[in-house]
Amino acid sequence: MKQPLGVILAGGQATRMGGGDKGLLRLGGQSLLDHVINRLAPQVSELALNANGDPARFATLGLPVLADSVAGFAGPLAGVLAGLDWAAEQGAESIVTAAADTPFFPCDLVPQLLLRGEGMVHPLVLAATPDEKRGTARHPTFGLWPVALREDLRAALNDGLRKVVLWTEKHEGREAVFPQEQAFFNVNTPDDLAQAEEML
Q: How many CB atoms lie within 10 A of CB 11?
A: 21
Dump pLDDT digits (tens) for 102-159: 999 999 999 999 999 999 999 999 999 999 898 999 999 999 999 999 999 999 999 9
DSSP H or E stretch at residue 84: helix 76-90
How does strand 30-31 pair with strand 47-50?
unpaired
pTM: 0.95
